[in-house]
């Protein structure tokens, strides 16, 4: 969310609400998904004081934005009271499909919180549930050792070496397709840095691939910045377009993907994003063609803020 930090009208809430250790058992009971799915437990208002934001300065110009994971930690009763008293706006962004495990808390929240706007990254959910489609937002990660890592350093590190293909993620039924793409890229004479996690290592491992060594996302991004081309393979439960698409634009990398949805995305250019159905379609020309890799904030969350603001102003909400 680095782009948002520069905006005067945006406050990033760093922490989710949480109870003291002595009352943790009661907190878990009051926020139990199975219980809340059937009925909102009584006396949940005792947690209002745990909210990482108070009502000083709230008005009809205030807007609280949640994602499908964070929203379940905030008290519906308090949000409804603030909405009635101050006219605040409430927005939910679904970063996972509505029916996924990670969205269960959001599905419960929808029953109790009067959201003014619900966004989704997934077009099918927008059409099915009446959400507002907005493909995604993405900012460069700002962490020690990452924001200091400049593109020029990545280039100089590769001056005397062939270009590198990068993938690090879970198996999720993708392993055969990943390994097939890796074999093709190696045949073309390029380097690969590949990690496949949560898989059976006994299943004919391919030399040079790292198996079952998960990485923190910040470390993955450090690897991305060192790579030239990212690999994106559709998994068993994949919906929509993965973060690889956005990372490739933000960090100035080419992308190879077998997800047909990339062709419908903003910014799609076949010279920058190669969609393939067979590994044989991966070519030397794609790796070697020089193109403009500049990034002008196409997927910046600032654009999303602008969309929300425009909607509220137009509809006088």
pTM, 2 dp: 0.80
pLDDT-based confidence at residue 150 (cuts at 50, 70, 90): very low
pLDDT-derived band of residue 155, with 50, 70 and 90 as boundaries?
Answer: very low
Q: Locate the domains of the chain by residue range.
A: 2-137+300-314, 151-288
Question: Does the structure show a pLDDT above 50 at 45?
Answer: yes
> At residue 148, does pLDDT exceed 60?
no
CATH architecture of 151-288: 3-Layer(aba) Sandwich (3.40)
Q: What percent of the chain has pLDDT over 90?
A: 55
**305: number of Cβ within 10 Å:** 18
Give the rounded percent of residues in the chain with a pLDDT score beyond 70. Answer: 93
Mean pLDDT calculated for residue range 136-146: 69
- The mean pLDDT of 68-96, rounded to a whole number, is 92
Six token digits for residue 190? 């390029």
- pLDDT value, residue 1: 59
For residue 315, pLDDT over 80 is answered with yes
Residue 161 is predicted with a pLDDT of 57
């Amino acid at each position: 969310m680095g782009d948002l930090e520069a905006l005067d009208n945006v406050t990033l809430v760093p922490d989710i609400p949480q109870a003291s250790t002595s009352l943790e058992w009661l907190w878990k009971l009051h926020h139990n998904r199975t219980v809340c799915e059937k009925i909102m437990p009584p006396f949940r208002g005792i947690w209002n004081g745990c909210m990482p934001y108070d009502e000083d300065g709230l008005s009809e110009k205030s807007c609280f934005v949640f994602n499908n994971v964070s929203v379940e930690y905030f008290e519906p009763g308090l949000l409804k009271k603030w909405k009635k008293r101050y006219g605040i706006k409430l927005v939910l962004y679904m970063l996972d499909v509505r029916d996924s495990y990670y969205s269960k808390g959001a599905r419960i929240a929808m029953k109790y919180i009067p959201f003014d706007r619900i966004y989704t990254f997934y077009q099918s959910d927008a059409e099915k549930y009446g959400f507002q489609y907005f493909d995604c937002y993405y900012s460069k990660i700002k962490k020690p050792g990452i924001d200091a890592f400049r593109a020029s350093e990545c280039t100089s590190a590769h001056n005397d070496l062939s270009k590198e293909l990068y993938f690090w993620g879970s198996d999720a039924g993708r392993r055969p397709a990943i390994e097939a793409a890796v074999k093709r890229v190696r045949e073309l004479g390029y380097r690969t840095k590949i990690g496949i996690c949560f898989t059976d290592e006994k299943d004919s491992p391919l030399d040079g691939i790292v198996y079952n060594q998960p990485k923190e996302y910040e470390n993955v991004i450090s690897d991305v910045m060192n790579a030239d081309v990212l690999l994106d393979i559709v998994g068993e439960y994949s919906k929509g377009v993965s973060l690889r698409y956005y990372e490739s634009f933000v960090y100035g990398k080419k992308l190879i993907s077998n997800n047909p949805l990339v062709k419908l995305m903003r910014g799609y250019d076949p010279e920058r994003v190669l969609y393939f159905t067979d590994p044989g379609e991966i070519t030397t020309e794609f790796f070697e063609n020089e193109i403009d890799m500049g990034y002008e904030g196409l997927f910046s969350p600032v654009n999303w803020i602008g969309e929300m603001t425009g909607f509220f102003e137009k509809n006088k909400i």
